[in-house]
Amino acid sequence: MSFDLEHELARLAGTVHDDAVADRMSGQVRTMVSRIRRRRAARHTAQGAIGLGAATAVVVGGMQLGGGRLTPPAAPTPDLTRQPLECGAPLPAPPEQEWGVQTEATLREVVVTDDGAAVTGDLTFSGLPEGAELVGVPTLVVTRDGTVVGASGEVGSFAGATTFTFRQMLVSCEDGAPLPAGEYELEARQLVRGPDGEVTEVRPGPWAVQAPRMDVPDDGAEADLGEAGSGRTAEEQEALLTRNEMLSFPQENPDGLMPLCGAPAELGDGTAPLVLDPPDLDLGEAGQTATGTAVVRTRGDASVIANASGAGARLVLMKDGIVVGYQFLDAEDTTLLDLGPGEEREVPLHLTRQLCGTGEGGTGAALPLPRDTYEAVVALDVILKEVTEPGAEPDGSTRPLTVVSEPVEITIR
């Protein structure tokens, strides 16, 4: 038998050409974008004050948009947000509207990337009158002294959304260069179609953002992001950037897994037959792992027989409702829980101060969770075998369940 090597190699390479590979690769684009941004960020130095300090929540609850600080009145301009703003020109005043749309904004810490500094956050609209709806997605604009100076940011959305995640680069609308260090104003522009069909604009904000001084080293040089700049080490800066990327672009969690790194936490509906005591821990400094003890008991007067993960429970850390830290546990071994009314059982509790998705089993080197305040729950995987409520027949249906405690706030120093 004679071989045509070129032909056979081409055929062999072709065996990977299927939809699954294409889907997996496409599904990894966002992850790759995050990794690229982190690498780019690590090559640059940020000096001077990094704006906003710790993650800052800016709440504009109940704000009557169109009243108060907004200069009245202007003619309705339905397509205003779809028209590019003129760089260097005054930001047009929004039209007046009387609907009382409320906006809550969360701005996270300014981070530095290859293309300049960026601020990420969320915008949530509420209080829309019946029959009114948001039209399209908000656009963001950076101004200084009322003049448009920044390029438009990115806004993520899906159909029917009233919460939008955004990433706003602090770069010039003129040439894309990083904006000079200093304070700027960030405003959002959102079209709303009222009950009468009229479309007008609401204008949440402004919020103050601080552009840091950028100092770009020679190509290829490793940046020292340490003490002279933000007060963080390069690792801490990368950890902060990575965490904020996770918060800005959360994973979908269609199966309701808990915990799932970078996805919204599934905290249950409070009706599980087992309950866990909330964590009572001091996490100390970031970047370490440790073990403790968790207590599981039955809810009310129920009796429960279940198999629990032999490894025990784990502490799950969340930021803005997104899972950002937990320890991987090998769930091969199980331990039997047989709890009557009022009985409780101690199980090992594993905790980590490492950012999930990094290090072994994740992407890149292990990163510590940035110093900050987090929501924390204890989670325990069980297989329910029999649940007996008072006065009822035992329910012997077997089903998996992740028991989750009430959340508490925990600070990583």
Partner 1 sequence: MAAWEESLDALVRTRGTALVGYAYLLCGDRREAEDLVQDALVKTYARGRTTPPENVEGYVRRAVLTTYLDGFRRRRRWAAVRHLVAVEDAHPGAEPASDARVDVRAALGSLSPRERACVVLRFYEDMTVPAIADQLAVSQGAVKRYLSDGVRRMESLLGPMPTAHATAADDVEHAQVVTGRGAR
Separation CA 117–CA 115 (nearest Å)? 7
Site for partner 1 in 207-226 (CB under 8 A): 219
Site for partner 1 in 358-387 (CB under 8 A): 361
Alpha-carbon separation of residue 399 from 308, 381, 384, 391 (angstroms): 12, 11, 5, 22
Q: Looking at 79, 86, 98, 114, which residue binds partner 1 (CB under 8 A)?
A: 114
177 lines the binding site for partner 1 (CB under 8 A)? no
Single out the segment in contact with partner 1 by CB under 8 A; choices: 29-37, 125-133, 177-185, 305-313: 29-37
Q: Looking at 109, 115, 238, 372, which residue binds partner 1 (CB under 8 A)?
A: 115
CB-based contact 380:234 (threshold 8 Å): no
Q: What pairs with residue 57 in β-bridges? A: 106
Q: Looking at 22, 89, 336, 365, which residue binds partner 1 (CB under 8 A)?
A: 22
Single out the segment in contact with partner 1 by CB under 8 A; choices: 33-41, 207-215, 264-272, 399-407: 33-41
Contact code string over 121-160 relative to partner 1, x by CB under 8 A? ---------------------------------x------
Torsion of CA 60, 64, 69, 72, to 10 degrees: 150
CB of 152 to partner 1, least distance (A): 11
29 lines the binding site for partner 1 (CB under 8 A)? yes
2 or 271, CB closer to partner 1? Answer: 2
Alpha-carbon separation of residue 64 from 128, 138, 196 (angstroms): 12, 17, 19
154 or 235, CB closer to partner 1? Answer: 154
8 lines the binding site for partner 1 (CB under 8 A)? yes
Question: Backbone dihedral region of 304: left (phi > 0), alpha (psi from -120 to 50 degrees) or beta?
Answer: beta
21 or 228, CB closer to partner 1? Answer: 21
32 lines the binding site for partner 1 (CB under 8 A)? yes
Coil vs helix vs strand at 23: helix
How many residues sit close enough to partner 1 to count as binding (CB under 8 A)? 37
Give me the amino acid identity at 362: G
DSSP assignment letter at 81: G
Alpha-carbon separation of residue 347 from 53, 152, 336, 379, 411 (angstroms): 38, 51, 11, 11, 23
Closest CA to 40 of 117, 110, 119: 117
CB of 3 to partner 1, least distance (A): 5
Closest CA to 204 of 127, 158, 108, 138: 138
CB of 20 to partner 1, least distance (A): 8
Q: What is the contact surface with partner 1 in residues (CB under 8 A)? A: 1-6, 8-18, 20-22, 24-26, 28-29, 31-33, 35-36, 39-40, 114-115, 154, 219, 361
